[in-house]
């Protein structure tokens, strides 16, 4: 595909150089596991202002962590890119306006872009007592979500709270906090869990949507496979220590100082699916991500692990094993010998010779006896 | 004048040269075993720690060498003097069989340079069947050598020594009957401690020594018949069928006892059904039982058992039956657990064949040079 | 003495001896009061193989490279270079841990330190011994002749011979108490129990471990339990975990007289490669037979006397006949 677009307009619009822009597209395509062709398709999609999808962004029960982390993402002028790449029609944190006017714009946009807009949900949705524990503009989050989801082209649940309820849903869960996929049972909801989630996982997913008009392949939990396909444990740089049985047993002990495996400190990497070991966090660099700075992974992006299991005292269930190669099966032995052709032939010859000799001997004996009589 | 004579004649006959060739090939692998270790030549593994070196050379081999034992029993205990002519060749075959069984055990001994540790009383573990087997076999080899010594002494005219040996010979013979009784039964007892690894059809617990002993005696008598027949054929000597035929009552007794005990044990242990399980083990036990039963059919007919050829076939069947019984229990149906398998390597087989070839060569040389075989004109 | 009389006497003597001793058939051995051992809880094992590498470190053993497929230690089973190994049970799509159907679980292989060890019973040279106090089964190559009866006599195929060395020896787990290591004597626990991050391999006195195993059998599936880690008498930590559905079977409580290394699991043991063992040890049967025939060598001595008498009488007859 040829790049026919005039990049000068993009440079002006996004405030980045052409080179930086293409580098970004290629980087995103690569992290999505797509080819360089896709990077160009992506660049074309972004450069085309007509393709910018309108976005409705709802906040429920949460700390605004996902938005905050997205704002701090370090790609060149990321917020510019994102804000210009999509047409952010409604976002409770970022909207300059407030009150009835904003709510009005939202309703209008949803009506105008029926079936075309992208719905992003951030935060949990309380469903207890008809959802009265979270209201925006007099309406419950539950109703707002159902309303916005009705005609959305795609729905993305951003952050752990939106993905399954997050910290609010931890026991005893007084408000009945629930994730978007559970509320919108008949809709496909892409989840980008994490507390806070890695903005790169969100941007990549959205760019995929912008480029191809559909959502990337997802797993049973609604997570894009390109970002959540592997356990933290699988790519963890401390994995060799785990395999060699070298563990830190206390914060600050000798093993901890030496960078040993944090499993015994309750690291949930072995049961948490995320790409933290490869992406680290927010492009700070220098191995900055929880395990990198010596803290066990607490499983923020894994339902049933983060906010559920004790952070340090409870050990994780290791889920890495794809048993065939890693472990010998019960019936596999170190050495066992099959039958070789030579050995089989020798055995045959030996037994055959014994039987043959007996037959010959018997004949001769008969002969002798006949001669004697 | 001795009742025995050396056969004389050429030593390097054609069969001898074939045997020599087999021995030389075996020797190459023997050298390799003692330069590179057992793993280099054998297929032994963690589950099958005992391969054909133990099972053929020792367990089957010494049963093959029970001719001397069986005859000593007949001649000296049951006072059947007419079998005397067969004793000396049988003792020679036994001596060679046992000596080479011991030799074979040496190949199999993982720490051969420490073999003497088993002879140090301080090390003895009196619970061990292996200890009994090891010591018994070692002593029996010496006894057999002494029992055979008269042939050598006669040859070299050492009559003084011969006379004094003859004075204690009765005690040696008594020991020569006791020792095989002990270790041949113990070779069966070795299986008890292997527990579940031995197939239920062969794991007869308390009856192991009984079955092992009876089958060893059967094989002992068979080998006497076999030797006499082959020397009749090979050296064109007069057939001793008439003499051999007289053993049939004893062999019939042994065969039927074996079969009855075997079936009764399986009946009592409730394992009879396994015989018809239509698997490898059931095939093996049927084959084994058939090989025990065929000679019984032959020997029960006086007409058949007067013929040398039928006797030879019966003997061969019994030898195969006894061997198969041992092979089945120790190797063929032996199951140390899922995943383990064993079939001897070509090198392993060649070493065993080399040992056997050596044994036959030594026998041929010795009967030709020493007064072993009975004088023809005195033969019955 | 006539032949018949001799036979009668011999048979009578045999029968008498057999009757006298079969009453005293040797029962299974009892565990030493202070026996130490380990409890392996398969449901806690996460397959990290830390125990495997620790074992290699303690015993200074080389890695086992699986052909040209791997460059790291990937032992497939116990061998002369591996005294402890973690194997996997798999069924169907192998997705659910500790499930017999469509599941997987891990199983440890190492010396079980039998209460009534077959290897000790069969060894002719006392190269296999059982410590009277700790119950640990030890090997002493200085007196071993390499007959490898211990290998065939072990129900679990634990002792392994160094076939690939000309001057090889038997190798087996000695519960980290072998000369030069002596962790137990020093009051430490075994290497594998120390390395285990989940308490799956738990060290301690056999009695205490058995009690713990019985306690776990009583737990309700789904409730929380604090699993001790390391040494049961002084755990260095606890592992809080939801109780799985255990099979009501403590392997090593009774099997062939019991073992000091016991296993519990939520998958039945025949699927985990455990041998089909009765409660009576094969060693005790073998020894009963052996001792009823050879107790104080009375029977062989009696037989020898009888034989000597008969043979002497008969050889005299023959000599007279021969010397005519």
Asked if residue C105 and residue C245 are part of one domain, the reply reads yes
Asked if residue A251 and residue A164 are part of one domain, the reply reads no
Q: How far from each other are the two terminal CA atoms of chain B, in whole angstroms?
A: 18
Asked if residue A221 and residue A257 are part of one domain, the reply reads no
- The pLDDT value given to residue C11: 53
Hey, are the CB atoms on B340 and A354 less than 8 Å from each other?
no
**Neighbouring chains of A at 3+ CB pairs within 8 Å?**
B, C
Residue A188 lies in a domain: yes
With beta carbons less than 8 A apart as the criterion, state whether A264 and A248 touch: yes
Mean pLDDT of chain C: 87
Judge whether B242 is closer than 8 Å to chain A, CB to CB.
no
Asked if residue A103 and residue A147 are part of one domain, the reply reads yes
Q: Which of B53, B52, B47 minimizes the C-alpha distance to C160?
A: B47
Q: How far from each other are the two terminal CA atoms of chain C, in whole angstroms?
A: 25
- The pLDDT value given to residue C322: 45
Asked if residue A196 and residue A109 are part of one domain, the reply reads yes
Asked if residue C102 and residue C12 are part of one domain, the reply reads no
Asked if residue A172 has a cis previous peptide bond (ω within 30° of 0), the answer is yes
Domain-terminating residue out of A203, A228, A253: A228
Residue C319 lies in a domain: no
Give the tokens for residue B315: 């003997």
Distance from C-alpha of B65 to C-alpha of B147, rounded to nearest angstrom: 14
Asked if residue A136 and residue A182 are part of one domain, the reply reads yes
Residue C320 lies in a domain: no
Asked if residue A157 and residue A111 are part of one domain, the reply reads yes
E strand or H helix at C96, and its extent?
Answer: strand C96-97
Residue A359 lies in a domain: no
Give the domain extent around A220. Answer: 53-228
Distance from C-alpha of A28 to C-alpha of A14, rounded to nearest angstrom: 17
- Residue C225: which CATH number? 3.30.70.20
Give the tokens for residue A62: 């949460």
Q: A130: helix, coil or strand?
A: helix
Judge whether B328 is closer than 8 Å to chain A, CB to CB.
no
Residue C323 lies in a domain: no
Asked if residue C215 and residue C146 are part of one domain, the reply reads yes
Asked if residue A220 and residue A134 are part of one domain, the reply reads yes
- Residue A142: which CATH number? 3.40.50.700
Asked if residue C80 and residue C208 are part of one domain, the reply reads yes
pLDDT band at B80 (very low <50, low <70, confident <90, very high): confident
Hey, are the CB atoms on A244 and C85 less than 8 Å from each other?
no
Asked if residue A247 and residue A168 are part of one domain, the reply reads no
With beta carbons less than 8 A apart as the criterion, state whether C149 and B128 touch: yes
- The pLDDT value given to residue A337: 72
Residue A371 lies in a domain: no
Residue A342 lies in a domain: no
Region C274-280 average pLDDT: 92
Asked if residue C147 and residue C22 are part of one domain, the reply reads no
With beta carbons less than 8 A apart as the criterion, state whether C172 and C140 touch: no
Residue A70 lies in a domain: yes
Positive/negative CA dihedral, B127, B130, B135, B139: positive
Q: Which residue of B has its CA nearest to A355?
A: B316
Judge whether C14 is closer than 8 Å to chain B, CB to CB.
no
Asked if residue C203 and residue C134 are part of one domain, the reply reads yes
- The pLDDT value given to residue B103: 85
- The pLDDT value given to residue B255: 94
Per the listing, tokens 């090390």 go with B123
CA distance C140 to chain B (A): 11
- Indicate the length of chain B as a whole number: 380
Phi/psi at B337 (5° precision): 145, 165
Looking at the structure of chain A, the number of domains it has is 2
**Neighbouring chains of B at 3+ CB pairs within 8 Å?**
A, C
With contacts defined as CB-CB under 8 Å, which chain C residues touch B35?
166
pTM tops 0.90 = no
Q: Which of B233, B239, B311, B337 to mutate to test the interface with A (most CBs of A within 10 A)?
A: B233
pLDDT band at C311 (very low <50, low <70, confident <90, very high): confident
| Helix residue spans in B156-239 (DSSP H) | 159-189, 208-234
Hey, are the CB atoms on A329 and C89 less than 8 Å from each other?
yes
What DSSP character marks residue A316? Answer: P
Of A314, A318, A335, nearest to C48 by CB-CB distance is: A318
Write the CB contacts of C268 (distance below 8 Å, at least 6 apart in sequence): C100, C247, C249
Helices B84-108 + B346-369 axis angle, to 10: 150
- The pLDDT value given to residue C2: 53
Asked if residue C297 and residue C274 are part of one domain, the reply reads no
Hey, are the CB atoms on C3 and B195 less than 8 Å from each other?
no
With beta carbons less than 8 A apart as the criterion, state whether A53 and A153 touch: yes
Asked if residue A299 and residue A193 are part of one domain, the reply reads no
Q: Which of B187, B194, B88 minimizes the C-alpha distance to B134?
A: B187
Give the domain extent around C218. Answer: 36-278
Asked if residue A251 and residue A152 are part of one domain, the reply reads no
Per the listing, tokens 């935060």 go with A123
Going residue by residue through chain A (373 aa), what tens digit of pLDDT does each one get?
A: 444 556 666 666 666 777 777 777 777 777 666 776 777 777 777 767 666 788 899 999 999 999 888 887 765 445 565 566 777 888 888 877 788 888 888 898 999 988 888 899 999 999 999 999 999 888 999 999 999 999 999 999 999 999 999 999 998 999 999 999 999 999 999 999 999 998 888 888 888 887 888 889 999 889 999 999 889 998 999 988 887 778 998 999 999 999 999 999 999 999 999 999 988 887 778 888 999 999 999 999 999 898 988 888 788 877 765 544 568 888 888 777 778 888 888 888 888 888 888 888 888 888 877 777 6
- The pLDDT value given to residue B377: 46
Positive/negative CA dihedral, B109, B111, B112, B114: negative
Residue C144 lies in a domain: yes
- pLDDT surpasses 50 at C249: yes
With contacts defined as CB-CB under 8 Å, which chain C residues touch A327?
47, 86-88, 106
* DSSP-assigned letters across all residues of C279-304: SS-HHHHHHHHHHHHHGGGHHHHHHH
Q: Which of C77, C22, C13, C12 minimizes the C-alpha distance to C291?
A: C22
- The pLDDT value given to residue C68: 65
- Residue A237: which CATH number? 4.10.480.10
Domain-terminating residue out of A210, A228, A246: A228
CB atoms within 10 A of CB B261: 15
Distance from C-alpha of C277 to C-alpha of C54, rounded to nearest angstrom: 30
Looking at the structure of chain C, the number of domains it has is 2
Distance from C-alpha of A255 to C-alpha of A29, rounded to nearest angstrom: 38
- pLDDT surpasses 80 at C277: yes
Check residues A285 and C243 and name the one with the higher pLDDT: C243
Asked if residue C265 and residue C178 are part of one domain, the reply reads yes
With beta carbons less than 8 A apart as the criterion, state whether A345 and C105 touch: no
- The pLDDT value given to residue A194: 94
Asked if residue C64 and residue C11 are part of one domain, the reply reads no
- The pLDDT value given to residue B211: 93
With contacts defined as CB-CB under 8 Å, which chain C residues touch B189?
286, 289-290
Domain-terminating residue out of A169, A194, A228: A228
Q: Is A18 exposed, middle or buried (0-12, 13-18, 19+ CB in 10 A)?
A: middle
Q: Which of B45, B84, B128, B173 to mutate to test the interface with C (most CBs of C within 10 A)?
A: B128
Residue C256 lies in a domain: yes
Asked if residue C165 and residue C52 are part of one domain, the reply reads yes
With beta carbons less than 8 A apart as the criterion, state whether C206 and C31 touch: yes
Asked if residue A150 and residue A64 are part of one domain, the reply reads yes
Asked if residue A272 and residue A245 are part of one domain, the reply reads yes
What DSSP character marks residue C240? Answer: E
Asked if residue C296 and residue C260 are part of one domain, the reply reads no
Asked if residue C137 and residue C78 are part of one domain, the reply reads yes
- The pLDDT value given to residue B380: 35
């Amino acid at each position: 595909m040829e790049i026919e677009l005039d990049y000068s307009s993009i440079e002006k619009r996004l405030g980045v150089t052409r080179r930086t822009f293409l580098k970004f597209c290629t980087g995103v395509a690569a992290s999505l596991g797509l080819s360089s062709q896709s990077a160009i398709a992506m660049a074309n999609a972004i450069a085309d202002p007509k393709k910018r999808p309108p976005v409705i962004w709802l906040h429920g029960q949460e700390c605004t962590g996902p938005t905050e982390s997205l704002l701090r993402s370090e790609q060149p002028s990321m917020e510019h890119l994102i804000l210009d790449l999509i047409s952010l029609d409604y976002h409770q944190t970022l909207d300059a306006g407030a009150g009835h006017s904003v709510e009005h714009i939202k309703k209008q946009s949803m009506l105008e872009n029926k079936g075309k807009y992208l719905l992003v949900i951030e935060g949990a949705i309380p469903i207890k007592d008809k959802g009265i524990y979270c209201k925006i503009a007099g309406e419950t989050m539950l109703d707002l979500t159902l309303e916005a989801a009705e005609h959305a082209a795609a729905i993305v649940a951003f952050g752990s709270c939106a993905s399954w309820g997050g910290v609010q849903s931890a026991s005893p869960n007084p408000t009945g906090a629930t994730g978007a996929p559970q509320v919108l049972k008949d809709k496909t909801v892409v989840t980008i869990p994490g507390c806070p989630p890695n903005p790169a996982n969100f941007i990549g997913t959205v760019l995929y949507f912008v480029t191809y008009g559909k959502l990337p392949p997802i797993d049973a939990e609604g997570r894009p496979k390109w970002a959540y396909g592997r356990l933290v444990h699988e790519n963890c740089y401390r994995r060799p220590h785990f395999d060699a049985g070298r563990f830190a047993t206390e914060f600050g002990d000798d093993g901890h100082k030496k960078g040993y495996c944090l499993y015994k400190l309750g690291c949930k990497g072995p049961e948490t699916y995320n790409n933290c070991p490869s992406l680290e966090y927010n492009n700070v660099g220098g191995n900055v991500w929880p395990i990198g700075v010596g803290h066990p992974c607490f499983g923020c992006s894994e339902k049933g692990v983060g906010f559920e299991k004790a952070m340090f005292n409870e050990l994780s269930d290791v889920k890495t094993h794809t048993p065939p190669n890693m472990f010998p099966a019960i019936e596999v032995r170190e050495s066992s010998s099959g039958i070789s052709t030579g050995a089989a032939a020798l055995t045959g010859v030996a037994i055959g010779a014994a039987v043959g000799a007996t037959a010959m001997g018997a004949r001769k004996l008969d002969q002798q006896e006949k001669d004697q009589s | 004048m001795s009742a025995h004579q050396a056969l004389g004649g050429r030593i390097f006959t054609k069969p001898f040269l074939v045997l020599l060739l087999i021995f030389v090939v075996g020797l190459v692998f023997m050298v390799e075993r003692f330069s590179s270790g057992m793993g280099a030549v054998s297929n032994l593994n963690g589950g099958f720690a005992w391969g054909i070196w133990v099972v053929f050379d020792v367990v089957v081999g010494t049963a093959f060498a029970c001719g001397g034992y069986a005859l000593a029993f007949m001649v000296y205990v049951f006072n059947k003097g007419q079998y005397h002519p067969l004793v000396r060749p049988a003792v020679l075959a036994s001596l060679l069989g046992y000596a080479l069984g011991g030799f074979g055990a040496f190949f199999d001994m993982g720490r051969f340079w420490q073999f003497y540790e088993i002879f140090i009383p301080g090390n003895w573990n009196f619970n061990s069947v292996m200890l009994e087997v090891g010591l018994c076999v070692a002593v029996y080899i010496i006894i057999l050598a002494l029992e055979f010594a008269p042939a050598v002494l006669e040859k070299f005219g050492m009559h003084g020594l011969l006379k004094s040996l003859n004075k204690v010979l009765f005690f040696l013979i008594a020991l020569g009957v006791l020792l095989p009784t002990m270790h041949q039964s113990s070779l069966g007892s070795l299986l008890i401690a292997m527990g579940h690894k031995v197939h239920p059809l062969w794991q007869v617990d308390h009856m192991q020594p009984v079955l092992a002993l009876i089958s060893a005696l059967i094989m002992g008598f068979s080998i006497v018949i076999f030797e006499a027949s082959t020397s009749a054929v090979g050296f064109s000597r007069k057939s001793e069928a008439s003499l051999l035929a007289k053993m049939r009552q004893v062999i019939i007794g042994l065969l039927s006892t074996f079969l009855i005990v075997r079936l009764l044990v399986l009946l009592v242990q409730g394992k009879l059904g396994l015989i018809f399980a239509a698997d490898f083990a059931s095939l093996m036990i049927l084959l084994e039982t058939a090989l025990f039963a065929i000679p019984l059919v032959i020997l029960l007919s006086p007409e058949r058992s007067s013929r040398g050829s039928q006797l030879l076939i019966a003997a061969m069947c019994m030898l195969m039956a006894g061997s198969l019984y041992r092979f089945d229990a120790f190797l063929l149906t032996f199951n140390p657990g899922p995943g383990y398998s064993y079939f001897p390597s070509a090198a392993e087989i060649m070493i065993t064949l080399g040992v056997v070839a050596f044994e036959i060569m030594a026998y041929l040389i010795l009967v030709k040079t020493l007064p072993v075989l009975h004088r023809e004109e005195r033969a019955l | 003495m006539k032949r018949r009389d001799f036979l009668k006497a011999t048979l009578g003597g045999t029968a008498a001896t057999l009757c006298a001793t079969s009453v005293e058939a040797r029962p299974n051995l009892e565990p030493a009061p202070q026996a130490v051992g380990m409890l392996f809880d398969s449901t806690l094992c996460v397959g990290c193989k830390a125990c495997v590498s620790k074992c290699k470190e303690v015993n200074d053993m080389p890695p086992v490279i699986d052909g040209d497929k791997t460059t790291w230690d990937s032992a497939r089973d116990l061998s002369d270079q591996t005294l402890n190994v973690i194997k996997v049970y798999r069924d169907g799509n192998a997705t659910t841990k500790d499930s017999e159907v469509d599941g997987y679980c891990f199983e440890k292989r190492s010396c079980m330190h039998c209460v009534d060890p077959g290897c000790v019973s069969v060894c002719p040279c006392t190269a296999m011994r059982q410590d009277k106090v700790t119950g640990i089964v030890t090997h002493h190559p200085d007196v071993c002749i390499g007959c490898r009866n211990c290998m065939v006599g072990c129900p679990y195929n634990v002792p392994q011979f160094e076939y690939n060395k000309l001057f090889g020896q038997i190798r087996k787990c000695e519960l980290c108490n072998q000369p030069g290591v002596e962790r137990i004597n020093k009051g430490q626990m075994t290497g594998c129990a120390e390395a285990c991050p989940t308490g799956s391999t738990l060290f301690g006195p056999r009695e205490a471990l058995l009690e713990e195993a019985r306690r776990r059998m009583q737990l309700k599936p789904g409730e929380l339990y604090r699993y001790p880690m390391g040494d049961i008498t002084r755990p260095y930590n606890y592992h809080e975990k939801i109780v799985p559905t255990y099979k009501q079977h403590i392997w090593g409580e009774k099997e062939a007289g019991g073992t000091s290394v016991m296993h519990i699991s939520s998958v039945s043991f025949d699927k985990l490669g455990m041998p089909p063992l009765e409660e009576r040890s094969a060693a005790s049967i073998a020894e009963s037979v052996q001792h009823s025939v050879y107790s104080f060598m009375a029977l062989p001595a009696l037989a020898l006397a009888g034989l000597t008498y008969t043979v002497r009488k008969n050889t005299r007859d023959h000599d007279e006949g021969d010397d005519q």
